[in-house]
Each structure stands twice: as C-alpha cells, then as structure tokens.
Amino acid sequence: MRNKVTKAIFPVAGLGTRFLPATKSVPKEIMTLVDRPLIQYAIDEARAAGIKEFIFVTSRGKGALEDYFDHSPQLENELRKKGKDDLLEILKSTNMDSGAIAYMRQHKALGLGHAVWCARRLIGNEPFAVILPDDVIAAEKPCLQQMVEAYEETGGNMVAAMEVPPEKASSYGVLDVQEDMGSMVSVKGMVEKPAPGTEPSNLAVIGRYILSPYVLKNLNKIKSGAGGEIQLTDAIAQEIGSDRGVYGYRFRGQRFDCGSKSGFLQATVAFGLSRDDLRDDLHGYLTGIMAAERAAQ
C-alpha cells in the first residue's frame, strides 16, 4: 500500500513585488479573486485531494495570512444575530481544524527549493504535496486530486505539466520527456528556467507537486541554481533514475498565472463568469465594451 498524501506545503514567503503598492500591506496570497483570497483556492484544492495538514512557509509581513485562518467569533456572532446564515456558512467554510495548520518562517529569500526545505521537519519521511498559490487552476476535478489519483498508480515524484508557447518556456521549469503516455509522461531531465533556445521541450512545470521525502534530502545539499536561488526543480531532477522516478502529469483544467497582473485579471473575469450571481452582469458589461470597441474601429 502506498503512503497517502496528507501533508501539503504552501510556499507563501514571496514579497509579491509585481503587485506593489498593494503588497506593501496586503500579502499577495490574500489578494482576492472575485471574493476569495488566492490562498483559499489553494486550500480548497488541497482539501479536495485529501490533504489534512497544511504547512505555510511564510516571511515577515504575512500576519494577515495567519489571521485569515483564525476563527472570527465576533464576526460569526454578529452574522448569527442578524440571521445572515448564508454569510455564516461562507465564513465557516474557511475555518481550519485546530492543529491542522503550521507556519514555518523562511528567514531568507533563497528560493522555492529553500522554502520547501524549511518545512522538512514537519514532513518527516512521507510523500507530500506542494502547491504554489499563484498558479490557480480551474478544473472540474481539482488538479491536485487528479494528481493524487494518478500518483496512486505511479508513486515516485509527480509534477503538474502543461504545454506553453515555446517562446515562454524559459520562464518555467521545463521537462525533458522520456516516454509520453498521454496524460502522463516519464521524465529523463528537467531544467529550471532554461536559457532561450536551450529548452528541452515546451512542456512546463506548473505549481502542483507530489514529492517523495528524498527530495528534501536532496535539498540538504543542493547549490543555488537558476537566478542564484535554491531551486526545487534541481532537487526533483536528482530523483530521475532513482527507483522512484519523476513523472509529469498533464492535468485537465485551465491554469491562470496569478503571479502576473494580466493573469490575475483573466482569472478574475473567468471566475466571475463562472458564478451564477455575477455572470449576467459581467457578461453584459464585457460584450458592451467589446461592441463599443468594434464600433470605434
């Protein structure tokens, strides 16, 4: 029997400079897509995949993130008194069980690999998931759940993968494919942010991982890589050729890069249009401006 994946690491220590000045006082992960903070989408996806322990790797100035997961008795009482049961339900759905959340501080911004390594003692000797909340994935079956199901077959190490336009591949971790089995590929190499023109493919790593604890051991001794940072990709690449191996999983769903302003705006529109209470209004507005633009041409 394979060990179940019950722990997930959420690296949330980044400064979010691309969203300044907002991120001067609001952690990027608290920025809202429609009416839910980015981190809530990541948490919901993890829960759907069976994750029970949530480990946040944070940094200075992320207090609002910790507060977000606290119960808010005063607010709940107010809503109860006013009979606002629907809002109460929404609020309760964000509550986390006691002891389910741990915060680990990354003292220095040394890269994604380092952030994950900071959580090593909370992981121990089990497989674990990593979710990058900037990558928001809209899917009928949540992406990590798809991966957990696939992982039950393969074990080893699995990264979410997606074909990106070739000229964009150098912004990602990129897979060198050994065998392409459709939704699953086995990997013979992976490289973080390859120099343009040297990409082994345009199959990019997206921010969902299921990793063996050996990756944490690899991180113990890894040197800084692309961008002078300790890269998770490099520690995973060291697993290639081991008994465990590395697989890429082409998930079904639409990924939004909420680490960029344009991606965040696109996600806002897409998630807005998927909501029964907003669709008509938003759709009317969008078709209106498009018609006006066409008329002006």
Contact positions vs ligand G1P (CB under 6 A):
112, 132, 135, 172-173, 192, 204-207, 232-233, 259
Q: How far is the CB of 204 from ligand G1P (least distance, A)?
A: 5
Phi-psi region of 75 (alpha: psi -120 to 50; beta: other; left: phi over 0): alpha
Which residue number, 30 or 232, has a Cβ lying nearer to ligand G1P?
232
Give the nearer residue to ligand G1P in terms of CB position, either 5 or 206: 206
Do residues 184 and 150 make contact, with C-beta atoms less than 8 angstroms apart? yes
Tell me whether residue 205 or residue 215 sits nearer to ligand G1P (CB atom): 205
CA distance 163 to 169: 9
Taking the least distance from each CB to ligand G1P, the nearer of 15 and 88 is: 15
Q: How far is the CB of 262 from ligand G1P (least distance, A)?
A: 14
Q: Please report how close the Cβ of residue 215 comes to ligand G1P at its closest, in angstroms.
A: 13
Q: How far is the CB of 117 from ligand G1P (least distance, A)?
A: 14
Which C-beta is closer to ligand G1P: that of 79 or that of 205?
A: 205
Q: Which residues of 178-193 are buried (b: 16+ CB within 10 A; e: fewer)?
A: eeeeeebbbbbebbbb
232/215 Cα distance (integer angstroms): 8
Please report how close the Cβ of residue 256 comes to ligand G1P at its closest, in angstroms.
11
